[in-house]
Amino acid sequence: MIKVITLLSRKTGMSKTAFKKYYENHHRHIGEKYLAGYATHYQRRYVRPSDPENQYGSEPDFDVLMEIWFPNATAMQTAMAALAQPEAQVEIIADEELLFDRSKTVSFVVDEVASTLPTTQNIA
């Protein structure tokens, strides 16, 4: 499994509510269109304001952490080639300009290492 993580920030002046609504009702469909058949998972994790008393550090400089999971490197490379096609780029960039501050977009492939923890039986 290969996971691509992208940190995305909304356009200046756009509310978090409007950002999430547009992304979920419009932009995600573009992603699904081009990722179908290559990716196994396309997930958005929206950042919420934290409880200042329990927050570590400051609020992040992004609004959504987007994940795309690929079964293997070939699927990822083929999807990236499809996304790089001129027709796809025109559609994607035009919609991104309505939604994101593209100068803040950061994307990377991650290697995951997970711990299995015992379950607690006395959680209130």
- The residue-averaged pLDDT of 16-22 equals 97
Residues 23-79 have pLDDT tens digits of 999 999 999 999 999 999 999 999 987 666 666 667 788 999 999 999 999 999 999
Mean pLDDT of the chain: 92
The pTM (predicted TM-score) of the whole model is 0.85
Cβ of 30: how many Cβ atoms within 10 Å? 15
Question: What kind of fold does domain 2-110 have according to CATH?
Answer: Alpha-Beta Plaits (3.30.70)
Domains of the chain, residue spans? 2-110
Q: In what order do the strands lie in the sheet with 2-8?
A: 41-46, 64-70, 2-8, 106-110
